[in-house]
Amino acid sequence: MPRFPPLESALVALRRNFPDRLVVAVMTHVDEVRLRLEAEGIPVFEDPTRAVRAVAGAERLRRLRGEAEALPPVPSLSALPALGGHEAAAKAVLAAAGLLVPPEQACATAQAAVRTAEAIGFPVVAKILSEDIPHKTEIGGVMLGLADATAVEGAFAELMRRARAARPEAQIEGVLIAPMLRGGVETIIGTLRDPVFGPMVMFGLGGVSVELFADVAFASAPLSPARAARLVDGVRGSRLLAGWRGGPALDRAALEAALCAVAALAAARPEIASIDVNPFLVQERGGFALDAVILTGDVPPGDA
């Protein structure tokens, strides 16, 4: 086997004289020479393109290691309300975890709905309340902008009728009355439990936009404030938060805090299969979880 002693000796001497520098050999070679050079810490390539790519990859890995953060501690969250259930139950869990939810009330009768709406102040939103109907808009289970008692009473009857017609087997607990919040940008905050990577957090534009534009970003849970900020930056639509075409800047800090809270909840409670907060309304001051679903147990892929 040829040894190329002059070149081999020169490369080894160069590596030993400059231990803090990367020495890469690009040359035709035999395995015997390559193994001896690699034992000295000198990678050997025949293809210059592969050599450049390898060096670039090593530099990227070095940079990522330098930027790596220690994961934030995961709170115990042992005092949460019962997981699962309908929207009001999911929001109670999120509120206990640190998210803001609107002042709202579950109402079993039309009279209770009217009293609640009058206490909250018009206009209000009415939503069917059933653990068996997590996606209410699919059955017309949400009515917006109810401006007076007559509208609320009629909405209660109509929502009950629609729910019973669409899902006669569903257990219906009444109607949720909530204030009609205006302004801001609707976003979505979600989690899923990946079988390999564990709890993952998703962020994107909310409402129907998430399905229309598929502009979302993912990160593993839990989140530090810095990673939450990078997650928001990973979505093109996040530019709306800074004010768009003369609009006001929105409370991005409140959004990032909500992302951290949802991520901590998913990381702390392994029985949570998925969380869907859609929309999370980001306003000039603060942000509110306007709708939420929490699923527990094993969820088939695509159903979370």
Confirm whether pTM is higher than 0.85: no
Of 134, 114, 135, 127, which Cα lies nearest the Cα of 160?
127
Report pLDDT digits (tens) over 96-129. Answer: 999 999 999 999 999 999 999 999 999 999 999 9
Report pLDDT digits (tens) over 25-42. Answer: 999 888 888 999 999 999
For the chain, the farthest-separated pair of C-alpha atoms sits apart, in whole angstroms, at 96
Rg (C-alpha) for the chain, rounded Å, is 28
Q: Which residue has the tokens 């306003």?
A: 283
Of 138, 133, 139, 112, which Cα lies nearest the Cα of 124?
112
Asked if the model's pLDDT at residue 302 lies above 50, the reply is: no
Asked if the model's pLDDT at residue 207 lies above 90, the reply is: no
Pairwise pLDDT comparison (160 vs 210), residue with the higher score? 160
pLDDT for 85 equals 84
Is residue 228 classed as helix, strand or coil in its secondary structure?
A: helix
**Residues 6 or more apart in contact with residue 23 via CB below 8 angstroms:** 11, 14, 15, 41, 42
Asked if the model's pLDDT at residue 73 lies above 80, the reply is: no
What is the C-alpha to C-alpha distance for residues 270 and 84, in angstroms, rounded to an integer?
A: 13
Neighbours of 282 (CB within 10 A): 25
What is the C-alpha to C-alpha distance for residues 248 and 240, in angstroms, rounded to an integer?
A: 9
Judge whether 122 and 147 are in contact, CB under 8 Å: yes
Judge whether 98 and 261 are in contact, CB under 8 Å: yes
Confidence of residue 209 (pLDDT cuts 50, 70, 90): low
Quote the mean pLDDT of the chain: 90
Asked if the model's pLDDT at residue 262 lies above 70, the reply is: yes
What is the C-alpha to C-alpha distance for residues 292 and 100, in angstroms, rounded to an integer?
A: 12
What is the C-alpha to C-alpha distance for residues 156 and 125, in angstroms, rounded to an integer?
A: 11
* Average pLDDT over every residue of 88-96: 94
DSSP letter (8 states) at residue 108: S
Of 223, 120, 94, which Cα lies nearest the Cα of 176?
120
Pairwise pLDDT comparison (4 vs 31), residue with the higher score? 31
Mean pLDDT lowest for which of 39-53, 56-70, 113-127, 275-289? 56-70
Q: Which residue has the tokens 């009330």?
A: 105
Report pLDDT digits (tens) over 122-165. Answer: 999 999 999 999 889 999 999 999 999 999 999 999 999 999 99
Q: Which two tokens stand for residue 52?
A: 């450049």
Phi-psi region of 164 (alpha: psi -120 to 50; beta: other; left: phi over 0): alpha
